[in-house]
Amino acid sequence: MALKVLAVDDSKTIRMIVKKAFKTYDCEVIEAENGKEGLETASKEKPDLIVLDITMPVMSGPEMLEELMKDPDLKEIPVIMLTAESGKENVVQILKMGVKDYMVKPFKGEQLIERVTKIITLESKQSEDQDTSKKYFSIVEDIQILTLPQKLDRPISVEIERHFRAKVEEMVNSGIKKFILDMNKVGGTNVTLIKLIITVIQTCQQANIGIRIVGTSGLSDELKGFAETSEITVDLSIEDAKGAF
Amino acid sequence: MSDINTVDLRGFVSGAMDEVFDTMLSMNIELADDGVQADVGGERIVGSVGFAGKAVGSVSIHVNEDFARSISAAMLGMEEDEIDGDEDVLDVIGELSNMVGGDLKSRLCDEGLSCDLSIPFITRGSDFRTETKGWERHESLVFRYQEQFALVDVYVKTNG
């Protein structure tokens, strides 16, 4: 059964960052905009963990925590406090409140997950994970092929990069030495695509894996317009790429 | 308690901006300490937080709309054209000022100048002309990221 995480923050930005951090785990992230709303949601949903901001209008994090502690049904729910203030005085105050842990903003999603895993056990959405991997990766003969989608935005790029790193590890272990990055479906270039191409090329080179890039002539011309990809040779078909290895 | 006039405000703000932009946005900003005038340009979005206690003041981050959208996209892990309307952009700039202000507040507290932080607020407009009086310190820092600029204004005085 999916774990429930309650994110209480008046900033939609922070709630989105928290939600994204848990995206690959079997977790449902519920949101509340202030302590009052957070308390109501906690009573109704009985979350497994609360990620709680300190400074909020209507009811602050410490005020909500105080109410939580008074409620026998809610007082055992672990709380991670979010704070923009890293000063000693503030940290001591937070720890005195009885929270399990705290995070100082700015923080990365993975840093939050690292803290969370010390408190609750998170499980990856494995079956879904494997399915998304199959969307982009395939093996033909002794070649690993990554087929990029028509539109590559940042979340998809992050997902592909995660799968890619796992695939490279598998390739090294199984002795596969050829990789094709197939961009024939890609509709146009953007910074996210360029960054991904560079990452793929550099990672393959570091792992001693031969790499060929496949794409349309239009895409090839567009790549020449970016300093980072201007020197890349693009094959027009998978067959051409295979022949070039 | 430290003297507000000897506190390294510029260092505090510069360190906070570096950390926030690097951690949350993967952007390496540079302090433009070569006398460059901030060319924020166009319509500005200004995220601010106030603090009050032994030290009283505010931190404001000025960026133009284009840079605000780039910052928002980076913070939310989206492409710029995926951001719906202004609400998300304003929230991100507010959160940015909260993080930078929060860090500065912590440094002031560590110097014995304890204070509390307000929730962030946003001002939007163009042709900004500000005149301020009664502050003991005013620092204005310009940061550069590629062709874009962010201007950070800090006003501080001691209370009592």
- Residues A73 and A2: their CA atoms lie apart, in Å, by 20
What ranges in chain A are assigned the alpha helix state H?
12-21, 35-45, 61-70, 88-96, 109-116, 126-136, 154-174, 191-206, 217-224, 238-244
Reduced to 3 states (helix: H, G, I; strand: E, B; else coil), residue A119 is coil
Classify residue A21: in a domain, yes or no.
Answer: yes
Residue A8 to chain B, least CA–CA distance (Å)? 14
A202 and A133 share a domain? yes
A142 and A107 share a domain? no
Q: Is the pTM of this model over 0.90?
A: no
What CATH number is attached to the domain comprising A209?
3.30.750.24
Which pLDDT score is estimated for B43?
Answer: 87
- Residues A52 and B149: their CA atoms lie apart, in Å, by 33
B139: contact with A, CB 8 A cutoff: no
What's the 3-state SS for A176-225? CCEEEEECCCCCCCCHHHHHHHHHHHHHHHHCCCEEEEECCHHHHHHHHC
A91 and A136 share a domain? no
**Contact (Cβ atoms closer than 8 angstroms) between residue B123 and residue B46:** yes
B45: contact with A, CB 8 A cutoff: no
**Dihedrals phi, psi of B23, to nearest 5 degrees:** -70, -50
Q: Residue A4's beta-bridge partner residues? A: A28
The two beta strands, A49-53 and A79-83, are parallel
A150: contact with B, CB 8 A cutoff: no
A85 and A170 share a domain? no
A105 and A167 share a domain? no
Classify residue B32: in a domain, yes or no.
Answer: yes
**Contact (Cβ atoms closer than 8 angstroms) between residue A55 and residue A61:** yes
Among B19, B24, B106, whose Cβ lies nearest the Cβ of A90? B106
Q: Residue B62's beta-bridge partner residues? A: B46, B151
Classify residue B3: in a domain, yes or no.
Answer: no
Containing structural domain, residue B80: 9-158
A104 and A11 share a domain? yes
Which pLDDT score is estimated for A1?
Answer: 63
Burial class (CB in 10 A: 0-12, 13-18, 19+), A50: buried
Classify residue A236: in a domain, yes or no.
Answer: yes
**Dihedrals phi, psi of B56, to nearest 5 degrees:** -125, 140
Half-sphere exposure of B83 (CA within 13 A, CB side): 26
Classify residue A121: in a domain, yes or no.
Answer: no
Amino acid at B81: D
Are B109 and A56 within 8 A, CB to CB?
Answer: no
- Residues A83 and B105: their CA atoms lie apart, in Å, by 12
Reduced to 3 states (helix: H, G, I; strand: E, B; else coil), residue A67 is helix
B90: contact with A, CB 8 A cutoff: no
Classify residue A192: in a domain, yes or no.
Answer: yes
Over chain A (245 residues), what is each successive 10-residue block's mean pLDDT? 90 91 89 96 95 90 91 93 78 81 87 90 71 83 90 81 90 90 87 88 93 91 84 90 89
B16: contact with A, CB 8 A cutoff: no
Which pLDDT score is estimated for A191?
Answer: 79
Classify residue B146: in a domain, yes or no.
Answer: yes
**Residue finishing a domain among A86, A116, A146:** A116
Classify residue B2: in a domain, yes or no.
Answer: no
The count of domains in chain A is 2
Are B103 and A86 within 8 A, CB to CB?
Answer: yes
Classify residue B49: in a domain, yes or no.
Answer: yes
B95: contact with A, CB 8 A cutoff: yes
A70 and A8 share a domain? yes
- Residues B53 and B114: their CA atoms lie apart, in Å, by 6
Residue A156 to chain B, least CA–CA distance (Å)? 10
List all residues 6 or more positions away from B106 whose beta carbon is below 8 Å from its beta carbon.
A85, A86, A87, A90
A142 and A160 share a domain? yes
Residue A147 to chain B, least CA–CA distance (Å)? 20
Chains A–B, number of C-beta pairs less than 8 Å apart: 78
Q: What residues of chain A lie within 8 A of the CB of B104, using their CB?
A: none
The count of domains in chain B is 1
A238 and A145 share a domain? yes
What CATH number is attached to the domain comprising A94?
3.40.50.2300
Query: Which residue's structure tokens are 């998170």?
Result: A122
Containing structural domain, residue A138: 126-244
B24: contact with A, CB 8 A cutoff: yes
- Residues A240 and A86: their CA atoms lie apart, in Å, by 56
**Contact (Cβ atoms closer than 8 angstroms) between residue B137 and residue B9:** yes
Query: Which residue in B17, B69, B82, B99 has the most chain A C-beta atoms within 10 A of its own C-beta, making it the best mutation to test that interface?
Result: B99
- Residues B150 and B38: their CA atoms lie apart, in Å, by 7
Reduced to 3 states (helix: H, G, I; strand: E, B; else coil), residue B137 is strand
A153 and A108 share a domain? no
A184 and A108 share a domain? no
B2: contact with A, CB 8 A cutoff: no
Are B78 and A155 within 8 A, CB to CB?
Answer: yes
Over chain B (160 residues), what is each successive 10-residue block's mean pLDDT? 85 93 88 67 90 94 93 86 86 94 90 89 85 86 90 90
What CATH number is attached to the domain comprising B55?
3.40.1550.10
A14: contact with B, CB 8 A cutoff: yes
- Residues A35 and A53: their CA atoms lie apart, in Å, by 9
DSSP letter (8 states) at residue B38: P
A203 and A130 share a domain? yes
**Residue finishing a domain among A88, A116, A144:** A116
What does the radius of gyration of chain A's CA atoms come to, in whole angstroms? 23
Are A84 and B98 within 8 A, CB to CB?
Answer: yes
Maximum Cα–Cα distance for chain B, whole Å?
49
Are B91 and A12 within 8 A, CB to CB?
Answer: yes
Q: Which of B147, B95, B152, B30 is nearest to A15 (CA)?
A: B95
